[in-house]
Amino acid sequence: MIGLIQRVKQAKVTVADETTGEINQGLLILLGVEREDNIEKMQKLANKIIKYRIFSDEDGKMNLNVSQVGGKLLVVSQFTLAADTGRGLRPSFSGAATPEQANSLYEAFVAYCRELGVETHTGRFGADMQVSLINDGPVTFNLQV
């Protein structure tokens, strides 16, 4: 499972001119699900993201996590993160989860983040989404489990 996380001042997802999710300070998470992923990997990634210390403390050091700054999450499914780009000029998606598996783990990820007490907003699985953001830093990390 792959989580490309971006620290944001603001982020929004729209589908057909309808806003499906919007946050101010927090993390935009582009979530990629691979064939071997399961509930245990999902929980491990969610815990890591929520505890990841990438927000500045009073000394300007990355020492606080999203919960400690009162931030929110905006989770967007992105199967292209599971692409194999090692050969040729066209990505292969053979390692990506099936849409059914990916949607199930995406929904479980969102529910689990909410259970952990972080306000979590979403895009719409499988939709043509437009994502806009004001990146804070920029600060971007690729987390994998």
Mean pLDDT, range 14-39, rounded to an integer = 97
Answer yes or no: is 33 within a domain: yes
Answer yes or no: is 92 within a domain: yes
Answer yes or no: is 145 within a domain: no
Answer yes or no: is 142 within a domain: no
pLDDT in tens, 33-44: 999 999 999 999
**Predicted TM-score of the model (pTM):** 0.95
When pLDDT is cut at 50, 70 and 90, the band that residue 94 belongs to is: very high
pLDDT of residue 143: 98
Answer yes or no: is 144 within a domain: no
Answer yes or no: is 53 within a domain: yes
Q: What is the CATH number of the domain that holds 70?
A: 3.50.80.10
110's tokens: 């969102």
Q: How many domains does the chain have?
A: 1
Rounded CA gap, 123 and 19, in Å? Answer: 9
Answer yes or no: is 143 within a domain: no
Residues recognised as catalytic: 78-80
When pLDDT is cut at 50, 70 and 90, the band that residue 75 belongs to is: very high
Rounded CA gap, 83 and 17, in Å? Answer: 28
Domain encompassing residue 77: 2-137
pLDDT of residue 120: 98
